[in-house]
Amino acid sequence: MDILFIADPLSRFKIYKDSTYAMMAEAAKRGHTLYACEPQHLAWTGNGVEANVYRFEIVGDQTDGHRDVWYEAQPVEPRALPSFGAVLMRKDPPFDMEYVTSTWLLELAERAGARIFNKPQAIRDHSEKMAIGEFPQFVAPTLVTRDPARLRAFHAEHGDVILKPLDGMGGMGVFRVKADGMNLGSIVEMLSHDGARSVMAQKFIPEIKSGDKRILLIGGEPVPYSLARIPQGNEVRGNLAAGGLGVAQPLTARDRDIAEALGPVLKSRGLLLVGLDAIGDWLTEVNVTSPTCFREIMDQTGFDVAAMFIDALEKAVG
């Protein structure tokens, strides 16, 4: 089938670690035809939603993740989104108004018959940080507010807390405030824009030293390995983008409890691929925009995450 990937420019891909590349390589190996575009190439014309897309082929050995030139692209052409067998929304955040507009356009295309993964409404409705509020039984003490007094009271109660913006990614804007409260006021002012924006506060979870685990759900089922992203040096953030070390490991019993509780719920909403984040026994985020960590798990364990994903995609489109 023809598969359209809506993503960042292919020229920027670091294919040795890119999960979208892993999806593309597996799809190509199975004989599917690959197309790509960026969100700004989407348009509603009055006759439906189309995009300026280009067909491309992966060149060279698909298992070699260190090629500078890895694809050959054909000329750009306009094409209606319902004409593709599947459309994969793989644009990285930030989740800003242009991202939201993309989901509106994709939803119009979906109503005309396009098969889009993840489902546009589900992407839009699931705040990656706020979504944990639906599953409080798995969540450490957490507060979301823009009231500085509530944030100060939360710190006073728990003593050691993490503060972060609701729209951050890759560990950006994450602060730890210990019992001494050093810089608490300044951090709250900065993150909340002087009370104009909401902030998430969470009790510090000491198990972060063993890693911030990414648990992948594909078609509602957990990948049997997580990727523990372990902070390095004095860093409190385990995010790979912040210099964390990724170590693949089998799911714990608690990881499976979380995955098996959330998997069917999220699948029923049209979320084919989800990245749960957990520290120790606690769920911290539910990532639905462009979950990653395929390559690290595949390289370290031999488990073919990309094959599991394309299996689920093929099943979803029938």
Instruction: Select which of 90, 115, 164, 203 is catalytic.
Output: 164
Same structural domain for residues 286 and 189?
Answer: no
- Asked if the structure places residue 92 within a domain, the reply is yes
Contact 118, 87 (CB under 8 A): no
One domain for residues 161 and 186 = yes
Catalytic residue among 90, 213, 237, 295: 237
Residue 174 lies in a domain: yes
Q: Which of 118, 151, 168 is the last residue of a domain?
A: 118
The total number of structural domains in the chain stands at 3
Q: How many residues does the chain have?
A: 318
216 and 291 in a single domain? The answer is yes
Inside any domain, residue 197: yes
At 101, which amino acid appears?
A: T
In a domain, 129, yes or no: no
Residues 154 and 57 in one domain: no
In a domain, 55, yes or no: yes
- Classify residue 281 by burial, with Cβ atoms within 10 Å: 0-12, 13-18, 19+: middle
Tokens of 292: 């990653």
Q: What is the pLDDT of residues 248-304, one digit of tens each?
A: 999 999 999 999 999 999 999 999 999 999 999 999 999 999 999 999 999 999 999
The rounded distance, in Å, linking the Cα atoms of 28 and 231 is 35
pLDDT at 240: 73
End-to-end CA distance of the chain: 11
Q: Are residues 10 and 39 in the same domain?
A: yes
Provide the whole-model pTM. 0.94
- How far is residue 109 CA from its own chain's centroid? 22
The answer to whether 129 is a known catalytic residue is: yes
CATH number at residue 288: 3.30.470.20
Q: One of 26, 212, 277, 296 is an active-site residue; which one?
A: 277
Domain extent for 190:
141-204
Helices (H), 159-304: 184-192, 253-268, 294-301
Whether 125 maps to a domain, the answer reads no
Residue 131 included in any domain: no
CB 161 within 8 A of CB 155: yes
pLDDT mean by block of 10 residues, the chain; 318 residues: 98 95 98 98 96 97 88 98 98 91 98 98 94 97 96 97 87 91 94 93 95 97 97 76 86 98 98 98 96 96 98 97
Distance of CA 297 to the CA centre of its chain: 15
Is 297 in contact with 21 (CB distance < 8 Å)? no
pLDDT on residue 231: 87
Provide the CATH number for the domain around residue 61: 3.40.50.20
Catalytic residue among 214, 239, 295, 296: 214
237 included as an active-site residue: yes
Give start and end residues of each alpha helix (H) in the chain.
19-29, 97-111, 120-125, 148-158, 184-192, 253-268, 294-301, 305-317
> Contacts for 45-49 with beta carbons within 8 Å, 24 or more apart?
48/80, 48/81, 48/82, 48/108, 48/109, 48/112, 49/80, 49/81, 49/105, 49/106, 49/108, 49/109, 49/112, 49/114
Beta bridge partners of 79: 51
184: helix, strand or coil? helix
- What pLDDT, on the 0 to 100 scale, is given for residue 63? 81
Q: Verify whether residue 214 is a known catalytic residue.
A: yes
> Of the listed 129, 213, 267, 295, which one is catalytic?
129
- Catalytic residue, chosen from 213, 287, 295, 296, is 287
Residue 250 lies in a domain: yes
d(CA 90, CA 4): 10
Question: What CATH number has the domain bearing residue 174?
Answer: 3.30.1490.20
Token digits for 228?
């523990």
